Structure 1
């Protein structure tokens, strides 16, 4: 009956709202089935779904809100309350919910949690017998890692000394020793340098049993072990540094919860993502797995990947991508998005393009001219793309492989190497595909040109897999006058 009611209400909803995604009626029935039967359900959404799938999820939740927990990222949270629920109000359906962890809801209310709240609720064992719903579940590991991240600033060191004055000399000595070591290895003004987790254990030994209750020290000293990654970000101008601490395997924190509770996961990236590879390695199974929408029914992306492009490790690669970016941008009347994850390279490209195109070029801001050129990371684009007009083109000067300069990425690769696993195909490459597909999701069907200027697309075997993942696409063999 829930499937029938959801179908009926969704059809009424679409009488007043344009149906922009043809699979929402099917999605609503699948979700209704999962809610009523308590199945572990995995639903792969086609990349043209963008944010149009929300009604197919929310309407069944309005009709069946028994022991439901909806877990959202910050962006999804804003989208739900600022966009989707106001649109749903015209259908006269009530979304009966409680948000956050201040109040534990009854079984008849939907519990809306951010990832940080999810971690706390799990630690307090508040989620028993509740069905967990994860939209955009391909980013669970990233969201958990960021939510569990600990940051220790110079001010926190001062607070530690003030609260444990009898250890003042030892704490100062430990801090100065670490500072000397970090700055002696610094190669740039904003260097990021790994710190052995044993440095925290040494500080814990100094404090003996008198561990501080103040945050963030309490968390840092209680949780850190060899499954956590720690690093410093230096500020050479102020001769100070911040200490960052993140879990290497954030999913392990929820492994018990995920195995005991019923799950409903929606994703745009599929099971090639490293998160789903981790789930499979733990022998986790879904009762229902559905691919919703045929990607070959979508409009193809105009894809510009010239032959005989140089590789990134060649001396003339930088000049090549600058010339190609200039050619691609010339004459365009709508925005261009240049996506580069490497900060140093991104700033160089931004500077070069600004010298050619002036104030049209901006760095990671949504305040742009009609024909503006935005240089940004892929993650920035994924978060901010809905606040920008539809661009003429996306340019990837390099394939967005996770960089080993990131302490967390480097530590994860080291762990996989130590286990004798294929760290590239199990981790780096799946992460790359997930980022690429998410970056392109919003421009499907909008005649937006995509250019990839990295020779590895043609010269590496895994480049062929990227071509396959981007399908459907149509090749642009040459640049035509605009």
Structure 2
């Protein structure tokens, strides 16, 4: 049976290579092998976000190399390159298999019996739009489903840029004046909104009426982008918004579904799918995550725990910090950051300060730069060895893989999506309309996912995470936040000895 063969081969390979020990390698490999054999889908949480080490990938590569049938692996190009240049060549020296491996945005040929690596964009575009580029029924591994919702939203979002207005006038020359007038009216209406840090605004009734009036005078045959936009914008449950480039005096229009589950439900029945992510849900059955992406109950769910010895973080959580929504918070935050940075100066290493609030991020960056000099940079990757990076969540998520693991990660507030962001407010309004718990189903899971992803590099060196949001202490959901951060050792003091372990670990690495 393939599960036994995979277990034996992987165990022997790990012993021979002296591979860094991950206690769940064999269990995960057997589960993937079983999914291939019986054609049953599975959802696997590896414990840490998928970019963190990628240490689990051997656990699905061995089964798909040994499996006699065809397999599709859906993974970002950066992951594909790692698989093709490092992981697969190592395994092929150990596992004698002639199985062909190809990359591409469509199935190779009807008689191809091998492994095809493709991107999430190519695979989702095919499945969502019925393009027929990938056959049904072929077992599929989707690696990195921490980002699945973002991938799907990117595919389902219709975007109209400045160039699309020119295309529309070229396609409908007899309506050039109406198109130009509508564009001018929309520009005035959209720029009339009060400025916000996100530079985006939900399309409200006045703007919608301008678009509707334009649509009524246009012919039925339009450029594809416009056809899709008008059709989708008139569908129930859509978010329509504008993003402005204030200095250029331009705007772009966007339309996307508020929820993605209904778009994905039919996809999962087209083939056995093994979805692999890091920290998708607090619970092993991932009920909230499955609801969000339209997964049925008919699949195997497994969640691996992190290793307390190798993945431990030191958590500093001071009491007495004012609530984030009070005037006293900024002063207390700066005082805590000064203490943390002073305690960490004894060792070389990167310090990261995560602040989601855009104005607060700029203010903190300015104050700390005046005290700590050029060591402080706001959202830049060119940093000193002993640099201090002040950053928002998105920048850190995009660049943490190319930056050194920080010995200190200070978190000002939990990354709960802000209701001041019009797109967040629009999604919350959708949940309220359905009388659903918008905090439990949307805001809180988003925060936990972002939090777990952000601290993953700190686990490499068992560094210090400072959580300065006192809501974790005083709110009922605080225990769930701590569960998401586990394994951890709580500390209530600050001195240089806290960072000594990081210094030793970094030197040994």
Alignment partner of 1:325 out of 337, 343, 350: 337
Shifted more, 158-167 versus 65-74: the winner is 65-74
Q: Which moved more, 1:398-407 or 1:304-313?
A: 398-407
Aligned to 2:65: 62
Aligned runs of 1:261-300 on 2, under 5 Å?
A: 261-272=271-282, 276-277=287-288, 279-280=290-291, 284-293=296-305, 296=308, 299-300=311-312
Matched with 1:252 is 262
Contact 1:246 1:408 in 2 (8 A): no
Give the one of 204, 213, 220 matched to 1:209. 220
Instruction: Note if 1:404 corresponds to 2:419.
Output: yes
> Per the alignment, do residues 456 and 188 of structure 1 end up closer, same or farther by CA in structure 2, a change over 3 Å counting?
closer
Decide whether the 8 Å contact of 1:298 with 1:444 is kept in 2. Answer: yes
Change (3 A) 1:244 1:329: farther
Equivalents in 2 of 1:446, 1:477: separation in Å?
Answer: 20
**3-state SS of paired residue (1:387):** coil
Partner of 1:124: 131
State which drifts further: 10-19 or 77-86.
Answer: 77-86
The CA deviation string for residues 143-188 of structure 1, in whole angstroms up to 9 with x for no partner, is 2112333332222212221222111111111111111111111325
| Mapped contact 1:24–1:53 kept (Cα < 8 A) | yes
Once the two structures are superposed, the pairs formed by residues 53-452 of structure 1 within 5 Å of their partners are 53-64=56-67, 66-81=69-84, 83-85=86-88, 87-88=90-91, 90-91=93-94, 96-106=100-110, 108-122=113-127, 123-125=130-132, 126-187=134-195, 191-196=199-204, 198=208, 200-213=211-224, 216-224=225-233, 225-272=235-282, 276-277=287-288, 279-280=290-291, 284-293=296-305, 296=308, 299-330=311-342, 331=345, 332-444=347-459, 446-452=461-467
Q: Aligned residue for 1:477?
A: 492
The alpha carbon displacement at 1:307 in A equals: 0.7
Retained in 1: the 8 A contact 2:407–2:458?
no
Measure, in 1, the Cα distance between the counterparts of 2:439 and 2:287.
15
Partners of 1:68 and 1:132 within 8 A in 2: yes
Q: 2 CA distance for matches of 1:78 and 1:352?
A: 41
Rounded Cα–Cα distance in structure 2 between residues aligned with 1:409 and 1:146: 16
1:374 CA displacement: 1.8
Q: Distance in 1 between matches of 2:340 and 2:281?
A: 34
SS in 2 for 1:47: coil
Q: Which runs of 5+ in 2 are unaligned?
A: 498-509
Q: Does 1:4 align with 2:4?
A: yes
Distance in 1, matches of 2:211 and 2:440, equals 33
Normalising by the residue count of structure 2, what TM-score does the alignment of the two structures yield? 0.86
How much has 1:220 moved relative to structure 2? 2.3
Deviation at 1:425, TM superposition (A): 1.0
- Please state whether the residue corresponding to 2:492 is helix, strand or coil: coil
Q: Is the 8 A contact 2:286 2:301 kept in 1?
A: no
Residue in structure 1 matched with residue 505 of structure 2 by the alignment: none
- Equivalence for 1:30: 31
Shift of the 237–57 alpha-carbon distance from structure 1 to 2, 3 Å rule, reads same
1:287-331 superposed Cα distances (whole Å, 9 cap, x missing partner): 422233465565532101101111111001112212222221221
The whole-number CA distance in structure 2 between the counterparts of 1:83 and 1:340 is: 36
CA displacement, residues 460-480 of structure 1 (integer Å, 9 cap, x when unaligned) = 111222112222211111111
Which range is displaced more, 343-352 or 198-207?
Answer: 198-207
Q: Secondary structure at the match of 1:57?
A: helix
Cα RMSD between the aligned structures? 2.8
* Deviation readout 1:358-385 (Å, 9 max, x if unpaired): 2222233332211112222334333332
